[in-house]
Structure 1
Amino acid sequence: MIDSKGILLESGTNELEMVEFEVQNNRFGINVIKVKEIIQPTKVIPIPHSHPNVKGLIQLRGEVLPVVDMAKVLGLEERETPQSKFIVSEFNQQKVVFHVHNVTQIHRISWDQIEKPSEMYSGIKSGIIGVVKHEDSMILLVDFESIMVEINPDSGINVDQVKKLGPRERSNKKIVAAEDSPLLRKLLNDTLSEAGYESVEFFENGMDALKYLESQISKSGQMEEAVGLVITDIEMPQMDGHHLTKRIKNHPVLKKLPVIIFSSLITNDLRHKGEMVGAEAQVSKPEIAELIKNIDRYIL
């Protein structure tokens, strides 16, 4: 069992703990906060006509959970090994099990050690959101949210939730959004536009978003371009959302900007981290309607 509640008690340190796992001797990583436990493989019941990446279902302490084959997801050879493990995860308000070929160790690293993927292999379907150089090798951070959206589109951001809010006026108020997943950037852009917020500047990580905000401050100490609100994910290469929020709230000019954390990692156990760095609101993906309501409430 991995206890993710006690790690990194200080929020905004720009650090994470990462579980390293292997698929076909390739090294990958998942944020330990997403991991409930790691277990030995157990009997899987196949599901007729299910998504090809889904092996089937298991029963774990009374819960029925889907099992996703990471070899299929990553386009690698499927196989069982003596070291095979099931990683039981929870994020985006759902539980899912990932079948991997081995789990090796846990690393504590800074987000600024994680490089964003090269444009040659990044993109909506790449499945990789970051690269960690480690001991003359590389560990690839996997975009688990996009994996689940592909398997179950209803688990992602749904523009129909915004339509239920009723007709909305167009707004020229500018929003800065930090989100590393290309797929979620597109979905977020479409839904914000549907909600009337058409002036959105997207960045792939917190560092780029912060540099942009600081670049808008004139010599007189005023924002040259009016920004009404910041939306940020938590998990991002270079600078995570908690550290971005902390930097904004500690800045003499930027501190007035409302910040909404929009992440798959918003849970009752972790909500205190966003509160400690001064976020105005925290919304769990994919609750897009709740995000829009908070934008309406806090935007300057």
Structure 2
Amino acid sequence: MEEKGVLLESGTNELEIVEFMVATNRFGINVIKVREIINPAPIVTIPHAHRNIEGIMEIRGEILPVINMARVLGYPDSDNPAHDKLIVSEFNKQKVVFHVHGVDKINRISWEQIEKPTNLYQNAENQIIGVVRREDGMILLLDFEKILVDINPATGINHDRLKEIENKDRSSYRIVVAEDSALLRKLISDTLMEAGFQKIDFFENGKDALDYLEDAIKDDGDINKVVDLVITDIEMPVMDGLFLTKQIKQNPLLSKVPVIIFSSLITDDLRHKGQTVGADAQVSKPEIVELIKLMDGLL
């Protein structure tokens, strides 16, 4: 995992996922979120903790919470706990351990291979954000940010900090947001509206956002009449935010539109990926106040 920061070039619309097992189903987590994978170790239970928190454990001098993924997903505990694995992860400026029933392999795939869940089995409570069909079965991609917010809502967007934002008229600015998580779309929408933004178009992936921008050029010819700023997540089915940013910045008719990457993957080690594709700014979820300050600086 030490080379995860250079596994893929920026803007290729590819990712690598660690495939893991819970019960009989296979799931995936972006390798960029994974610090290491270890064998079972002593876990200290915490009285009155959330039911999905198995306890805490010490790893390399740090005390980290352990999330039992079987409980999260509504499955029974492992039949063979000695063969379980612990996935040590870092995203959203947080470190957490996911207790799973096994780890299989790393798969390199394109975001185009990831299918969005249909409305038939996707709802506000569902953690599945994508499905990868393979010859030997399906891999389900999970909304790990939502899993953390469900356990501790304080890890989500903090509306109370909006009082730090300068009070001014933002109603005329046209904002395009690419974000695949329904939870995050709702939180971002509520927060931007509260800050005074009124013209916000949301898209579930980078391709839909790019199609909207390119169609606007064809219809109007002047992108400045359609959008003032783009906000994009990185991890999205069909087209990720790095590839979206690269396509915007390489298009002469779109290149002057400011792009802010708003992602749980923004760290000191990975910031260079956004810089490589030409992002004007980058900020880690859930720092919504910093996002709005960056928007003010670019608008």
Match of 2:105 in 1: 105
| Consecutive unaligned residues in structure 1, runs of 5 or more | none
Residues 65-103 of structure 1: CA distance to partner in whole angstroms, max 9, x if unpaired? 000000011111122523200000000000000000000
Compute the displacement of 1:225 (Å). Answer: 4.5
Match of 2:212 in 1: 212
Counterparts in 2 of 1:87-166, with a 5 A limit?
A: 87-166=87-166
Counterparts in 2 of 1:204-243, with a 5 A limit?
A: 204-218=204-218, 221-223=221-223, 225-243=225-243
Query: Residues 113 and 162 (structure 1 numbering): CA distance in 2 closer, same or farther, change over 3 Å?
Result: same
Q: Does 1:42 align with 2:44?
A: no
* Secondary structure of 2:50's aligned partner: coil
Whole-angstrom distance in 1 between the partners of 2:100 and 2:201: 37
Residues 19-55 of structure 1: CA distance to partner in whole angstroms, max 9, x if unpaired? 0000001000000000000000111111111111000
Whole-angstrom distance in 2 between the partners of 1:275 and 1:6: 14
Structure with greater helix share of residues: 2
Compute the displacement of 1:122 (Å). Answer: 1.8
Tell me how many residue pairs correspond in the alignment. 298
Structure 1 range deviating more: 189-198 or 95-104: 189-198
Percent identity of equivalent pairs: 61
Whole-angstrom distance in 1 between the partners of 2:60 and 2:185: 36
Tell whether the 8 Å contact from 2:83 to 2:102 is kept in structure 1 after alignment.
Answer: yes
Q: Does 1:169 align with 2:169?
A: yes
Match of 2:282 in 1: 282
Match of 2:13 in 1: 14
Tell whether the 8 Å contact from 2:165 to 2:293 is kept in structure 1 after alignment.
Answer: no
Compute the displacement of 1:229 (Å). Answer: 0.2
Tell whether the 8 Å contact from 1:218 to 1:224 is kept in structure 2 after alignment.
Answer: no
Query: Residues 213 and 181 (structure 1 numbering): CA distance in 2 closer, same or farther, change over 3 Å?
Result: same
Tell whether the 8 Å contact from 1:217 to 1:224 is kept in structure 2 after alignment.
Answer: no
Tell whether the 8 Å contact from 2:229 to 2:259 is kept in structure 1 after alignment.
Answer: yes
Compute the displacement of 1:60 (Å). Answer: 0.9
The residue type paired with residue 193 of structure 2 is: S
Match of 1:181 in 2: 181
The residue type paired with residue 222 of structure 2 is: Q
Whole-angstrom distance in 1 between the partners of 2:159 and 2:168: 13
Residues 102-129 of structure 1: CA distance to partner in whole angstroms, max 9, x if unpaired? 0000000000010111111223211011
Q: Does 1:73 align with 2:65?
A: no
The residue type paired with residue 120 of structure 1 is: L
Match of 2:258 in 1: 258
Compute the displacement of 1:294 (Å). Answer: 0.6
Query: Residues 154 and 219 (structure 1 numbering): CA distance in 2 closer, same or farther, change over 3 Å?
Result: closer
Compute the displacement of 1:172 (Å). Answer: 2.0
Match of 1:57 in 2: 56
Whole-angstrom distance in 1 between the partners of 2:240 and 2:89: 20
Match of 1:198 in 2: 198
The residue type paired with residue 182 of structure 1 is: A
Tell whether the 8 Å contact from 1:2 to 1:38 is kept in structure 2 after alignment.
Answer: no
* Secondary structure of 1:290's aligned partner: helix
Match of 2:86 in 1: 86
Match of 2:27 in 1: 28
The residue type paired with residue 19 of structure 2 is: E
Q: State the Cα RMSD in Å.
A: 1.4
Query: Residues 122 and 2 (structure 1 numbering): CA distance in 2 closer, same or farther, change over 3 Å?
Result: farther
Whole-angstrom distance in 2 between the partners of 1:111 and 1:256: 26
Whole-angstrom distance in 2 between the partners of 1:236 and 1:26: 22
* Secondary structure of 2:223's aligned partner: coil
Tell whether the 8 Å contact from 1:163 to 1:194 is kept in structure 2 after alignment.
Answer: no
Runs of 4+ in structure 1 off by over 4 angstroms are none
* Secondary structure of 1:55's aligned partner: strand
The residue type paired with residue 173 of structure 1 is: Y
Compute the displacement of 1:176 (Å). Answer: 0.3
Instruction: Provide the TM-score with structure 2 as the length reference.
Output: 0.96
Tell whether the 8 Å contact from 2:231 to 2:261 is kept in structure 1 after alignment.
Answer: yes
Tell whether the 8 Å contact from 1:117 to 1:128 is kept in structure 2 after alignment.
Answer: yes
Whole-angstrom distance in 1 between the partners of 2:219 and 2:93: 44
